[in-house]
Structure 1
Protein backbone atom coordinates (compact mmCIF):
# COMPACT_ATOMS: atom_id res chain seq x y z
CA UNK A 1 0.00 0.00 0.00
CA UNK A 2 1.14 3.53 -0.66
CA UNK A 3 -0.25 6.88 0.28
CA UNK A 4 -1.06 9.31 -2.49
CA UNK A 5 1.27 11.94 -1.04
CA UNK A 6 4.51 11.39 0.82
CA UNK A 7 6.68 8.37 1.15
CA UNK A 8 5.48 4.84 0.52
CA UNK A 9 4.12 2.93 3.48
CA UNK A 10 6.29 0.29 5.02
CA UNK A 11 4.56 -2.98 4.12
CA UNK A 12 6.47 -4.69 6.93
CA UNK A 13 4.40 -2.65 9.40
CA UNK A 14 1.19 -3.67 7.65
CA UNK A 15 2.16 -7.33 7.85
CA UNK A 16 3.31 -7.09 11.48
CA UNK A 17 0.08 -5.37 12.52
CA UNK A 18 -2.12 -7.92 10.73
CA UNK A 19 -0.18 -10.79 12.28
CA UNK A 20 -0.34 -9.19 15.73
CA UNK A 21 -4.10 -8.68 15.40
CA UNK A 22 -4.60 -12.34 14.43
CA UNK A 23 -2.41 -13.59 17.28
CA UNK A 24 -4.09 -11.41 19.90
CA UNK A 25 -7.56 -12.24 18.61
CA UNK A 26 -6.74 -15.89 19.27
CA UNK A 27 -5.32 -15.12 22.71
CA UNK A 28 -7.82 -12.62 24.14
CA UNK A 29 -10.87 -12.74 21.86
CA UNK A 30 -12.58 -9.95 19.98
CA UNK A 31 -14.11 -8.13 22.95
CA UNK A 32 -10.77 -7.67 24.74
CA UNK A 33 -8.70 -6.87 21.68
CA UNK A 34 -7.33 -3.30 21.67
CA UNK A 35 -5.51 -1.23 19.10
CA UNK A 36 -2.89 -0.39 21.75
CA UNK A 37 -2.14 -4.07 22.37
CA UNK A 38 -1.96 -4.72 18.63
CA UNK A 39 0.45 -1.82 18.11
CA UNK A 40 2.63 -2.99 21.01
CA UNK A 41 2.73 -6.57 19.74
CA UNK A 42 3.57 -5.36 16.21
CA UNK A 43 6.35 -3.11 17.51
CA UNK A 44 4.82 0.06 16.12
CA UNK A 45 2.81 3.05 17.30
CA UNK A 46 -0.93 3.46 17.62
CA UNK A 47 -0.92 6.35 15.11
CA UNK A 48 0.79 4.08 12.57
CA UNK A 49 -1.99 1.53 13.06
CA UNK A 50 -4.78 4.12 12.84
CA UNK A 51 -3.28 5.56 9.63
CA UNK A 52 -3.84 2.17 8.04
CA UNK A 53 -7.14 1.11 9.67
CA UNK A 54 -9.73 3.55 11.07
CA UNK A 55 -10.98 1.13 13.72
CA UNK A 56 -10.38 -2.19 15.40
CA UNK A 57 -13.17 -3.75 13.34
CA UNK A 58 -11.60 -2.69 10.03
CA UNK A 59 -8.26 -4.10 11.14
CA UNK A 60 -9.75 -7.36 12.41
CA UNK A 61 -11.72 -7.77 9.17
CA UNK A 62 -8.55 -7.57 7.14
CA UNK A 63 -6.56 -9.77 9.53
CA UNK A 64 -9.24 -12.48 9.59
CA UNK A 65 -9.91 -12.61 5.86
CA UNK A 66 -6.53 -11.68 4.36
CA UNK A 67 -5.74 -15.29 3.44
CA UNK A 68 -9.32 -16.23 2.54
CA UNK A 69 -9.96 -17.87 -0.80
CA UNK A 70 -11.63 -15.18 -2.88
CA UNK A 71 -10.93 -16.69 -6.27
CA UNK A 72 -13.76 -17.29 -8.68
CA UNK A 73 -15.84 -20.40 -8.11
CA UNK A 74 -15.19 -22.64 -11.11
CA UNK A 75 -18.22 -23.27 -13.28
CA UNK A 76 -18.93 -26.95 -13.77
CA UNK A 77 -21.94 -26.60 -16.02
CA UNK A 78 -24.25 -28.08 -13.38
CA UNK A 79 -26.31 -25.69 -11.25
CA UNK A 80 -26.40 -28.05 -8.26
CA UNK A 81 -22.62 -28.49 -8.19
CA UNK A 82 -21.95 -24.77 -8.65
CA UNK A 83 -24.45 -23.80 -5.96
CA UNK A 84 -22.99 -26.36 -3.54
CA UNK A 85 -19.56 -24.79 -4.13
CA UNK A 86 -20.94 -21.32 -3.28
CA UNK A 87 -22.54 -22.62 -0.06
CA UNK A 88 -19.39 -24.53 0.90
CA UNK A 89 -17.18 -21.48 0.21
CA UNK A 90 -19.39 -19.36 2.45
CA UNK A 91 -19.14 -21.92 5.24
CA UNK A 92 -15.36 -22.10 4.87
CA UNK A 93 -15.01 -18.31 5.12
CA UNK A 94 -17.25 -18.03 8.18
CA UNK A 95 -15.90 -21.00 10.13
CA UNK A 96 -12.15 -20.53 9.90
CA UNK A 97 -10.59 -20.38 13.38
CA UNK A 98 -10.15 -16.60 13.25
CA UNK A 99 -13.58 -15.97 11.73
CA UNK A 100 -15.19 -17.97 14.54
CA UNK A 101 -13.71 -15.49 16.99
CA UNK A 102 -14.34 -12.32 15.00
CA UNK A 103 -17.54 -12.65 12.98
CA UNK A 104 -20.05 -12.05 15.80
CA UNK A 105 -18.23 -8.84 16.83
CA UNK A 106 -17.77 -7.72 13.23
CA UNK A 107 -21.47 -8.17 12.51
CA UNK A 108 -22.35 -6.05 15.52
CA UNK A 109 -19.95 -3.28 14.56
CA UNK A 110 -20.88 -3.39 10.87
CA UNK A 111 -24.46 -2.51 11.81
CA UNK A 112 -23.23 0.89 13.02
CA UNK A 113 -20.38 1.47 10.55
CA UNK A 114 -21.43 1.90 6.92
CA UNK A 115 -17.89 1.62 5.53
CA UNK A 116 -17.20 -1.58 7.44
CA UNK A 117 -20.56 -2.96 6.38
CA UNK A 118 -19.70 -2.25 2.74
CA UNK A 119 -16.29 -3.93 3.09
CA UNK A 120 -17.93 -7.05 4.51
CA UNK A 121 -20.50 -7.07 1.72
CA UNK A 122 -17.79 -6.59 -0.89
CA UNK A 123 -15.77 -9.43 0.60
CA UNK A 124 -18.66 -11.86 0.40
CA UNK A 125 -20.68 -10.64 -2.55
CA UNK A 126 -18.02 -9.35 -4.94
CA UNK A 127 -14.63 -10.81 -4.15
CA UNK A 128 -15.79 -14.22 -3.05
CA UNK A 129 -17.81 -15.17 -6.10
CA UNK A 130 -16.54 -13.44 -9.20
CA UNK A 131 -18.30 -14.86 -12.21
CA UNK A 132 -21.40 -16.06 -10.37
CA UNK A 133 -23.66 -14.02 -12.64
CA UNK A 134 -22.14 -15.82 -15.63
CA UNK A 135 -22.75 -19.21 -13.96
CA UNK A 136 -26.38 -18.25 -13.36
CA UNK A 137 -26.83 -16.97 -16.92
CA UNK A 138 -25.49 -20.28 -18.26
CA UNK A 139 -27.87 -22.20 -15.96
CA UNK A 140 -30.78 -20.15 -17.36
CA UNK A 141 -29.68 -21.00 -20.91
CA UNK A 142 -29.50 -24.71 -20.00
CA UNK A 143 -33.04 -24.47 -18.60
CA UNK A 144 -31.95 -25.26 -15.03
CA UNK A 145 -32.76 -21.86 -13.54
CA UNK A 146 -35.79 -19.61 -13.80
CA UNK A 147 -35.11 -16.57 -16.00
CA UNK A 148 -34.64 -13.23 -14.27
CA UNK A 149 -33.08 -14.62 -11.12
CA UNK A 150 -30.90 -12.11 -9.23
CA UNK A 151 -27.47 -13.44 -8.26
CA UNK A 152 -27.16 -10.84 -5.53
CA UNK A 153 -30.29 -12.15 -3.85
CA UNK A 154 -28.93 -15.68 -4.06
CA UNK A 155 -25.74 -14.61 -2.30
CA UNK A 156 -27.73 -12.78 0.37
CA UNK A 157 -29.75 -15.93 1.05
CA UNK A 158 -26.64 -18.13 1.19
CA UNK A 159 -24.74 -15.73 3.44
CA UNK A 160 -27.78 -15.04 5.62
CA UNK A 161 -28.46 -18.75 6.04
CA UNK A 162 -24.85 -19.44 6.97
CA UNK A 163 -24.76 -16.56 9.46
CA UNK A 164 -28.03 -17.64 11.06
CA UNK A 165 -26.81 -21.24 11.31
CA UNK A 166 -23.50 -20.03 12.73
CA UNK A 167 -25.30 -18.12 15.47
CA UNK A 168 -27.85 -20.84 16.20
CA UNK A 169 -25.77 -24.01 15.74
CA UNK A 170 -22.30 -22.67 16.39
CA UNK A 171 -19.42 -23.02 13.93
CA UNK A 172 -19.29 -26.79 14.28
CA UNK A 173 -22.91 -27.01 13.15
CA UNK A 174 -22.12 -25.94 9.59
CA UNK A 175 -21.27 -29.46 8.52
CA UNK A 176 -21.17 -31.11 5.11
CA UNK A 177 -24.71 -32.28 5.83
CA UNK A 178 -25.76 -28.64 6.45
CA UNK A 179 -24.14 -27.60 3.15
CA UNK A 180 -25.99 -30.40 1.33
CA UNK A 181 -29.34 -29.62 2.98
CA UNK A 182 -29.03 -25.89 2.31
CA UNK A 183 -28.02 -26.51 -1.31
CA UNK A 184 -31.06 -28.75 -1.87
CA UNK A 185 -33.38 -26.21 -0.24
CA UNK A 186 -32.02 -23.43 -2.44
CA UNK A 187 -32.27 -25.56 -5.55
CA UNK A 188 -35.96 -26.14 -4.93
CA UNK A 189 -36.48 -22.37 -5.07
CA UNK A 190 -34.17 -21.78 -8.04
CA UNK A 191 -35.00 -24.47 -10.52
CA UNK A 192 -37.08 -23.75 -13.56
CA UNK A 193 -40.53 -25.39 -13.41
Structure 2
Protein backbone atom coordinates (compact mmCIF):
# COMPACT_ATOMS: atom_id res chain seq x y z
CA UNK A 1 0.00 0.00 0.00
CA UNK A 2 1.74 3.20 -1.12
CA UNK A 3 2.36 5.81 1.55
CA UNK A 4 -0.09 8.17 -0.16
CA UNK A 5 -2.85 5.57 0.28
CA UNK A 6 -2.48 5.05 4.02
CA UNK A 7 -5.45 3.87 6.01
CA UNK A 8 -6.99 6.82 7.78
CA UNK A 9 -9.31 6.35 10.71
CA UNK A 10 -9.64 8.56 13.77
CA UNK A 11 -7.37 11.53 14.30
CA UNK A 12 -4.97 12.71 11.57
CA UNK A 13 -1.79 10.68 11.16
CA UNK A 14 1.54 12.04 12.40
CA UNK A 15 3.69 12.26 9.25
CA UNK A 16 6.93 12.23 11.23
CA UNK A 17 5.92 8.99 12.93
CA UNK A 18 4.92 7.50 9.57
CA UNK A 19 8.39 8.28 8.18
CA UNK A 20 10.13 6.83 11.25
CA UNK A 21 8.08 3.64 10.94
CA UNK A 22 8.94 3.27 7.25
CA UNK A 23 12.65 3.93 7.85
CA UNK A 24 12.78 1.41 10.70
CA UNK A 25 10.88 -1.15 8.64
CA UNK A 26 13.35 -0.79 5.79
CA UNK A 27 16.26 -1.17 8.21
CA UNK A 28 14.64 -4.28 9.65
CA UNK A 29 14.14 -5.75 6.16
CA UNK A 30 17.77 -5.02 5.31
CA UNK A 31 19.01 -6.61 8.52
CA UNK A 32 16.86 -9.72 8.70
CA UNK A 33 14.57 -9.94 5.71
CA UNK A 34 10.80 -10.21 5.65
CA UNK A 35 10.70 -13.46 7.58
CA UNK A 36 12.17 -11.65 10.62
CA UNK A 37 10.08 -8.48 10.32
CA UNK A 38 8.19 -8.05 13.60
CA UNK A 39 5.64 -5.29 14.15
CA UNK A 40 6.40 -5.33 17.89
CA UNK A 41 10.08 -4.62 17.23
CA UNK A 42 9.28 -1.77 14.83
CA UNK A 43 6.86 -0.23 17.34
CA UNK A 44 9.43 -0.48 20.12
CA UNK A 45 12.22 1.02 17.99
CA UNK A 46 10.16 4.07 17.00
CA UNK A 47 8.49 4.32 20.42
CA UNK A 48 4.89 3.90 19.37
CA UNK A 49 2.21 1.32 19.94
CA UNK A 50 1.44 -1.45 17.46
CA UNK A 51 -1.94 0.20 16.89
CA UNK A 52 -0.17 3.27 15.46
CA UNK A 53 1.34 1.01 12.82
CA UNK A 54 -1.86 -0.92 12.14
CA UNK A 55 -3.75 2.38 11.73
CA UNK A 56 -1.52 3.04 8.73
CA UNK A 57 -1.03 -0.46 7.29
CA UNK A 58 -3.45 -3.32 7.91
CA UNK A 59 -0.84 -6.09 7.70
CA UNK A 60 2.86 -6.75 8.06
CA UNK A 61 2.97 -7.30 4.28
CA UNK A 62 1.41 -3.89 3.61
CA UNK A 63 4.01 -2.27 5.87
CA UNK A 64 6.86 -4.07 4.10
CA UNK A 65 5.50 -3.14 0.66
CA UNK A 66 5.15 0.53 1.68
CA UNK A 67 8.74 0.63 2.97
CA UNK A 68 10.05 -0.92 -0.24
CA UNK A 69 7.94 1.33 -2.51
CA UNK A 70 9.23 4.36 -0.62
CA UNK A 71 12.72 3.50 -1.92
CA UNK A 72 11.67 2.92 -5.54
CA UNK A 73 11.56 5.79 -8.02
CA UNK A 74 8.96 5.50 -10.77
CA UNK A 75 10.97 7.86 -12.98
CA UNK A 76 9.98 10.09 -15.85
CA UNK A 77 8.24 8.84 -18.98
CA UNK A 78 10.88 8.81 -21.73
CA UNK A 79 9.93 10.09 -25.20
CA UNK A 80 13.00 10.54 -27.37
CA UNK A 81 11.05 9.84 -30.56
CA UNK A 82 12.70 6.41 -30.88
CA UNK A 83 11.07 3.42 -29.19
CA UNK A 84 14.36 1.53 -28.73
CA UNK A 85 15.93 4.45 -26.88
CA UNK A 86 12.78 4.96 -24.81
CA UNK A 87 12.78 1.27 -23.85
CA UNK A 88 16.46 1.49 -22.88
CA UNK A 89 15.79 4.60 -20.77
CA UNK A 90 12.80 2.95 -19.11
CA UNK A 91 14.96 -0.07 -18.23
CA UNK A 92 17.78 2.16 -16.98
CA UNK A 93 15.35 3.78 -14.54
CA UNK A 94 14.49 0.31 -13.28
CA UNK A 95 18.16 -0.61 -13.06
CA UNK A 96 18.74 2.46 -10.91
CA UNK A 97 16.21 1.11 -8.43
CA UNK A 98 17.38 -2.49 -8.42
CA UNK A 99 21.04 -1.57 -8.56
CA UNK A 100 20.88 0.59 -5.43
CA UNK A 101 22.60 -0.98 -2.47
CA UNK A 102 19.37 -0.76 -0.47
CA UNK A 103 17.08 -2.56 -2.90
CA UNK A 104 19.81 -4.97 -4.04
CA UNK A 105 20.01 -6.30 -0.50
CA UNK A 106 18.76 -9.89 -0.43
CA UNK A 107 16.61 -9.17 2.64
CA UNK A 108 14.56 -6.82 0.50
CA UNK A 109 14.33 -9.28 -2.40
CA UNK A 110 13.27 -12.00 -0.02
CA UNK A 111 10.15 -9.93 0.66
CA UNK A 112 9.00 -10.60 -2.90
CA UNK A 113 8.72 -14.30 -2.12
CA UNK A 114 5.80 -13.56 0.17
CA UNK A 115 2.62 -13.68 -1.96
CA UNK A 116 0.93 -10.80 -0.10
CA UNK A 117 3.92 -8.44 -0.38
CA UNK A 118 4.38 -9.37 -4.04
CA UNK A 119 0.69 -8.73 -4.77
CA UNK A 120 0.81 -5.31 -3.09
CA UNK A 121 3.92 -4.28 -5.02
CA UNK A 122 2.41 -5.66 -8.24
CA UNK A 123 -0.71 -3.54 -7.69
CA UNK A 124 1.33 -0.45 -6.79
CA UNK A 125 4.82 0.40 -8.03
CA UNK A 126 5.18 -2.51 -10.46
CA UNK A 127 1.80 -1.73 -12.07
CA UNK A 128 2.75 1.91 -12.65
CA UNK A 129 6.13 0.97 -14.14
CA UNK A 130 4.58 -1.70 -16.37
CA UNK A 131 1.85 0.66 -17.62
CA UNK A 132 4.51 3.20 -18.57
CA UNK A 133 6.47 0.51 -20.38
CA UNK A 134 3.39 -0.62 -22.29
CA UNK A 135 2.54 2.98 -23.16
CA UNK A 136 5.96 3.67 -24.64
CA UNK A 137 5.90 0.40 -26.63
CA UNK A 138 2.37 1.12 -27.91
CA UNK A 139 3.62 4.56 -28.93
CA UNK A 140 6.39 2.80 -30.88
CA UNK A 141 3.81 0.60 -32.62
CA UNK A 142 1.71 3.65 -33.56
CA UNK A 143 4.84 5.36 -34.96
CA UNK A 144 5.66 2.30 -37.08
CA UNK A 145 8.88 1.63 -35.14
CA UNK A 146 7.70 -1.66 -33.65
CA UNK A 147 5.76 -4.48 -35.31
CA UNK A 148 2.02 -4.41 -34.55
CA UNK A 149 2.08 -8.09 -33.55
CA UNK A 150 5.03 -7.68 -31.16
CA UNK A 151 4.49 -9.28 -27.75
CA UNK A 152 4.79 -6.12 -25.65
CA UNK A 153 4.44 -7.95 -22.35
CA UNK A 154 7.28 -10.31 -23.20
CA UNK A 155 9.51 -7.43 -24.29
CA UNK A 156 9.03 -5.77 -20.90
CA UNK A 157 9.58 -9.07 -19.08
CA UNK A 158 12.83 -9.69 -20.96
CA UNK A 159 14.20 -6.24 -20.14
CA UNK A 160 13.18 -6.50 -16.48
CA UNK A 161 14.44 -10.06 -16.20
CA UNK A 162 17.82 -9.06 -17.59
CA UNK A 163 18.06 -6.34 -14.94
CA UNK A 164 17.10 -8.63 -12.09
CA UNK A 165 19.42 -11.43 -13.21
CA UNK A 166 22.46 -9.19 -13.58
CA UNK A 167 21.86 -7.37 -10.30
CA UNK A 168 20.81 -10.30 -8.12
CA UNK A 169 22.44 -13.40 -9.55
CA UNK A 170 25.60 -12.08 -11.15
CA UNK A 171 25.88 -9.04 -8.85
CA UNK A 172 26.95 -6.93 -11.82
CA UNK A 173 25.00 -3.86 -12.86
CA UNK A 174 24.20 -3.36 -16.51
CA UNK A 175 25.65 -0.41 -18.38
CA UNK A 176 23.60 1.90 -20.62
CA UNK A 177 25.10 0.32 -23.75
CA UNK A 178 23.82 -3.10 -22.62
CA UNK A 179 20.28 -1.76 -22.36
CA UNK A 180 20.54 0.00 -25.70
CA UNK A 181 21.78 -3.18 -27.40
CA UNK A 182 19.03 -5.31 -25.84
CA UNK A 183 16.33 -2.75 -26.64
CA UNK A 184 17.53 -2.40 -30.24
CA UNK A 185 17.49 -6.20 -30.69
CA UNK A 186 14.00 -6.53 -29.18
CA UNK A 187 12.61 -3.70 -31.33
CA UNK A 188 14.20 -4.87 -34.59
CA UNK A 189 13.28 -8.54 -34.08
CA UNK A 190 10.58 -8.64 -31.41
CA UNK A 191 8.93 -11.73 -30.03
CA UNK A 192 5.51 -12.08 -31.67
CA UNK A 193 2.10 -12.80 -30.26
For residues 26-85 of structure 1, the C-alpha deviation after alignment (integer angstroms, 9 at most, x for no partner) is 4x2315443222111211122322332344443232212214221442211111210101
Aligned residues: 184
SS at match of 1:66: helix
The answer for unaligned runs of 5 or more in structure 1 is none
Counterpart residue number, 1:10: 14
Counterpart residue number, 1:35: 39
What TM-score, normalized by structure 2, do the two folds share?
Answer: 0.76
- State the distance in 1 between where 2:98 and 2:128 align: 15
SS at match of 2:112: helix
Distance 1:178 1:120, change over 3 A: farther
- 1:71-90 equivalences under 5 Å are 71-90=75-94
Greater CA deviation, 35-44 or 173-182?
173-182
Q: CA deviation at 1:94?
A: 1.6
Distance 1:99 1:153, change over 3 A: same
The answer for unaligned runs of 5 or more in structure 2 is 1-5
The 8 Å contact of residues 71 and 127 in structure 1, kept in 2 or not, is answered as no
Q: CA deviation at 1:118?
A: 2.7
User: Which 4+ residue blocks in structure 1 deviate beyond 4 angstroms?
Assistant: none
For residues 102-130 of structure 1, the C-alpha deviation after alignment (integer angstroms, 9 at most, x for no partner) is 442122113xx2xx333222345432255
